[in-house]
Chains A and B, each alone.
Chain A
Amino acid sequence: MTALSRLAVFALALWAAHALAEPDPLDSARWGDMRAQLFDGATVVFDPRVGVTAPLTAEDPMNVPIAVDASALSNVVEVLVFADFNPITKVLAFRPLGARAELAFRIKLQQSSPVRAAARTGDGVWHVGGTWVITTGGGCTVPSTGSASPEWQSRLNEVSGRIWSRPEGNRVRVRIIHPMDTGLAASIPAFYIEQLAVTDSQQRVLMEIDAFEPVSENPLFTLDLPPEAGELAAIRITGRDNNGNRVDAQVAR
């Protein structure tokens, strides 16, 4: 092959790669990296059926409210939430086993960033949606309130919550006392809840959550169940943090 034809093949390959990759609707310089790191080789499509709701401007970078809704897709196996420009990009993942493919929570943002949700359907395709959140920043490198107060030690992994009946199905809200330290504040090691599972009184798993450092201190999760899940009398939440401390509590209606 001549140098010229090699160049032509190379140019063609570049063009093909460019034409095949959909442009990022959020126009983020980090999207290429995110795609390579998180979805290596898998099919990824931007999909408006995956909604991420957040305030355009985050008043408190330590507590940015995020609601993810992938329930317009069928057969969602897992949803991964990430923020392109966070020092720790992965926020959490959840598997909506008996729950709707929806979850609301709060996160720490270090700077303005797209916040995205990628929903993997049964066919292995990742459906990606998201929104930009503008913030003054600093959310990940600030110590938790808990790390400066003796209170959390006696209340660590304490749970409060409630179940609501709604026409569209039961809603569950659970809050866990935990500092959720990122490890990025000086002299404060990473200390955060890693795994949670929400089950009903028949031991059916409603949702599994893998949390990462950017989930806000004292995490509060809002889950919705489909009408066919019926009226829950109570739920159980179990799990552990990265130091092996266990979460195990029952939330009654």
Chain B
Amino acid sequence: MTRLLALLALIAAAGSAMAAGFDYHLAPRQIAPGTWVLEGKQEDFTFANGGRIVNTAFVVTEAGVVVIDSGPSRQYGEQTVAAIARLTGQPIVKVWITHHHPDHFLGNQAFPPATLSALAQTTTSIETEGKAFNENMYRLVGDAMRDTEVVLPTQSVAPGTVDIGGHRFELLALDGHTAGDLAVFDHRTGVLFAGDLVFHDRTPTTPHATIARWLKSLDTLDALPFKQVVPGHGPVAADNGPIRQTRDYLHWLDGVLKQSAAAGLDMTEVMHLPLPKIFRQLAVIDTEYPRSVSHLYPAVEEAALKPSAH
């Protein structure tokens, strides 16, 4: 009988654990007045991290809260809303989605639709690719994705400055990591929210990248008078180190691909080239570098072939 009770208790406990869902243990870290960051892990997507490999942020102003990226899942979005409510009574008035990758927008469900804003290109990309991303995320991180659905941004972001509660936000419409990358610079605090145009100590990802455009966007960001930069992935920095690191990696990657194509290397050979020591320190380089070869090498090697004569 005791055993039966113990079993029943166990089943009940398991049931309530399931009902409780996935806890991201979000602990916002303040980096500037009114400015908080939720820093993700330097990992690939796993069941254990629930997709929390991304940095999201929010700024509490006198006219409401501004959120930068909604995170990888519905539960992440809901837990962000709860974390904000613990710090301020201000309502959420704006959610800026930096680009269309799944870890940055799949928390949209938790926010009022009218607050969801992105570049028009980003919304178009979410429309075409969002559903497949969402399905893939269920496969990669499992139950943390429960009930997550694709919600499109309702507001189109125009580049320029916008004043919210005494913060002058400069919105930069850039590209290169994807076809539409939004960066947000808060002139009041000097914090630059760079989205995935900037990675820090974590290998950049390139499934939709155009390296030449990306490098141009990095120059634009580097010219801003920022005091801190919040990268899309990796630790916040008080200098342009992450921008330089991202630029160095992309330059190196571009060079390796072009040299390999000119030398006639096959894709598998390029994937197995030794990596420079400075980049071997980047998180997940062993998985991201071959992925990048897969994304970018086909176009580069085609350009190195010559049309035939009949």
Residue ranges of A at the interface with B (Cβ–Cβ < 8 Å): 53-55, 57-60, 63, 65-67, 104, 106, 136, 158-162, 164, 166, 171, 173, 175, 220, 222, 237, 248-252
Within the complex, the shortest CB–CB distance from A189 to chain B, in Å, comes to: 25
Are A54 and B268 interface neighbours, CB within 8 A? yes
Residues facing A in B258-297 (CB within 8 A) are 263-264, 266-269, 271-272, 287, 290-291, 294-295
Stretch of B10-18, B150-158, B299-307 lying at the A interface:
B299-307
Within the complex, the shortest CB–CB distance from B209 to chain A, in Å, comes to: 13
Residue ranges of B at the interface with A (Cβ–Cβ < 8 Å): 136, 139, 207, 263-264, 266-269, 271-272, 287, 290-291, 294-295, 298, 301-302, 304-310
- Known contacts being A53-B272, A63-B294, A222-B266, is A161 close to B306, with CB within 8 Å? yes
A-B CB proximity, top 8 nearest: A65-B267, A249-B308, A164-B264, A59-B294, A104-B266, A159-B308, A160-B305, A67-B268
Are A251 and B263 interface neighbours, CB within 8 A? no
Q: What is the bound-complex CA distance between A70 and B246, given in angstroms?
A: 40
A-side binding surface: helix, strand, loop or mixed?
A: strand
Closest partner residue, chain B, to A52 (CB atom): B268
Q: What is the bound-complex CA distance between A58 and B271, given in angstroms?
A: 12
Q: Which residues of B contact A58 (CB under 8 A)?
A: 294
Q: What is the bound-complex CA distance between A60 and B287, given in angstroms?
A: 13
Within the complex, the shortest CB–CB distance from A193 to chain B, in Å, comes to: 15
Are A164 and B263 interface neighbours, CB within 8 A? yes
Are B295 and A160 interface neighbours, CB within 8 A? no
Are A162 and B305 interface neighbours, CB within 8 A? yes
Are A161 and B310 interface neighbours, CB within 8 A? no
Q: What is the bound-complex CA distance between A173 and B261, given in angstroms?
A: 11
Q: Which residues of B contact A250 (CB under 8 A)?
A: 308-310
Within the complex, the shortest CB–CB distance from A227 to chain B, in Å, comes to: 16
Q: What is the bound-complex CA distance between A159 and B136, given in angstroms?
A: 35
Are A160 and B290 interface neighbours, CB within 8 A? no
Q: Which of B291, B302, B305, B310 contacts A248 (CB 8 A)?
A: B310
Q: What is the bound-complex CA distance between A11 and B181, given in angstroms?
A: 68
- Known contacts being A136-B139, A250-B310, is A171 close to B290, with CB within 8 Å? no
Are A104 and B268 interface neighbours, CB within 8 A? yes
Q: Which residues of A contact B301 (CB under 8 A)?
A: 173, 220
Q: Which residues of A contact B139 (CB under 8 A)?
A: 136
Q: What is the bound-complex CA distance between A136 and B132, given in angstroms?
A: 12
Q: Which residues of A contact B136 (CB under 8 A)?
A: 136
Within the complex, the shortest CB–CB distance from A209 to chain B, in Å, comes to: 15
Are B290 and A55 interface neighbours, CB within 8 A? yes
Are A160 and B306 interface neighbours, CB within 8 A? yes
Q: What is the bound-complex CA distance between A249 and B305, given in angstroms?
A: 14
Q: Which residues of A contact B305 (CB under 8 A)?
A: 160-162, 173, 175
Q: Which residues of B contact A54 (CB under 8 A)?
A: 268
Closest partner residue, chain B, to A235 (CB atom): B308
Q: Which residues of B contact A171 (CB under 8 A)?
A: 264
Q: What is the bound-complex CA distance between A222 and B290, given in angstroms?
A: 19
Within the complex, the shortest CB–CB distance from A76 to chain B, in Å, comes to: 19
In the complex, besides A58-B294, A104-B268, 10 extra interface pairs with C-beta distance below 8 angstroms are A53-B268, A57-B287, A59-B207, A59-B294, A67-B266, A158-B307, A162-B264, A173-B266, A220-B301, A249-B309
Q: What is the bound-complex CA distance between A237 and B309, given in angstroms?
A: 11
Are A161 and B263 interface neighbours, CB within 8 A? no
23 contacts between A and B (CB under 8 A): A54-B268, A55-B294, A59-B291, A59-B295, A60-B294, A65-B294, A67-B268, A104-B266, A136-B136, A160-B306, A160-B307, A161-B305, A162-B305, A166-B264, A171-B264, A173-B264, A173-B266, A220-B301, A237-B308, A249-B309, A250-B310, A251-B306, A251-B308
Are B271 and A65 interface neighbours, CB within 8 A? yes
Within the complex, the shortest CB–CB distance from B134 to chain A, in Å, comes to: 14
- Known contacts being A54-B268, A164-B263, A222-B266, is A63 close to B298, with CB within 8 Å? yes
Within the complex, the shortest CB–CB distance from A218 to chain B, in Å, comes to: 9
Within the complex, the shortest CB–CB distance from B188 to chain A, in Å, comes to: 41
Within the complex, the shortest CB–CB distance from B30 to chain A, in Å, comes to: 38
Are A160 and B308 interface neighbours, CB within 8 A? yes
Q: Which residues of B contact A251 (CB under 8 A)?
A: 306, 308
Q: Which residues of B contact A104 (CB under 8 A)?
A: 266-269
Are B266 and A65 interface neighbours, CB within 8 A? yes
Within the complex, the shortest CB–CB distance from B305 to chain A, in Å, comes to: 4
Q: What is the bound-complex CA distance between A175 and B300, given in angstroms?
A: 13
Q: Which residues of A contact B310 (CB under 8 A)?
A: 248-250
Within the complex, the shortest CB–CB distance from B307 to chain A, in Å, comes to: 5
